[in-house]
Amino acid sequence: MRYLFVSPEKVSQDQYRHAPIFRLAGVVLLIGLVLQVPLLFLGVLSWKQFQDRNAEQTSLRIELGELHKADIPLRETRQKLSQIRQWEPILNNRIPISSLLNAIQVSIPQNAVLDTISIEAEQFDHLPVLGGTYRVPRDYRVVLQGLERSGQGDGSQAFSDALQMRNLPGNG
């Protein structure tokens, strides 16, 4: 006689409300729903962090693009600068011939006459430069030959002292 002439909708509603099995299912469902709250919270937080990171990445990407744009005109300069830097050891090891010749000329004592002067380069280093390599001499040999009037002192010693006082490059 139970549920006689009661519509199936009402019967199922009553069962869903009061039957132990459906109550149990309801408890499980509600506990499940409650457990979703922290997960949902974490999800929202993660989403927010993801959004922040995305925004940061986008701004960094924009900044990088701007830097790239600014770098384009400097690239040629940098290239030229690097080419110039390649010449640095070459220029450092050069010998100032004119100042050497001037120092020799000035240092020759009165009682001596310079006959020949020869300058030879030795022990070459091969330094790479644009378009090939450059041979840079590590040592120079300067040979002087001259005539000294006799009886007027030690001319070669005076010449050596005067030359050293000139402070030529490489004299240290």
Partner 1 sequence: MGYSLIGYLKNLPLAYYLKGGFTQMRGPTISLFLSSQQSAALVCRGHRAQGFELQIANLPDAPPVIGMDSGIAAASRSFSQKLLTRTRARGVPRFIFVPDLAASDLYCNVHSVANLRELSIENLLESLNEDPRQVFGSWDESRKFRWEVFDSQLERVRGAFEKRFQEVIIVGIPADYCEQLEIWTEAQRATLLGIIPLSLACLKWFCSSIPIGRKTAFLLLMCSHAVLLAVVQNQKIILFREYTDDMAFVCHEIPLLASELRSDEYETYVWASHPVGEDIAVALTGTELTGEVLRQINGQAVVVRKSDGTKLELNSPIPHLLLWLENSVV
Binding stretches for partner 1 (CB under 8 A)? 1-8, 10-18, 22-23, 25-27, 29-30
Q: Residue 152: which of 114, 115, 112, 116 has the closest Cα?
A: 112
- In this complex, which beta carbon is closest to partner 1, that of residue 10 or of residue 135? 10
Distance of closest approach, residue 57 Cβ to partner 1, in angstroms: 41
Q: Residue 107: which of 170, 167, 171, 149 has the closest Cα?
A: 167
CA separation for the pair 54, 152 (Å, rounded): 92
- In this complex, which beta carbon is closest to partner 1, that of residue 28 or of residue 60? 28
- In this complex, which beta carbon is closest to partner 1, that of residue 8 or of residue 172? 8
DSSP for residue 45:
H
- State the CB neighbour count (10 A cutoff) for residue 10: 10
Distance of closest approach, residue 5 Cβ to partner 1, in angstroms: 4
Distance of closest approach, residue 1 Cβ to partner 1, in angstroms: 5
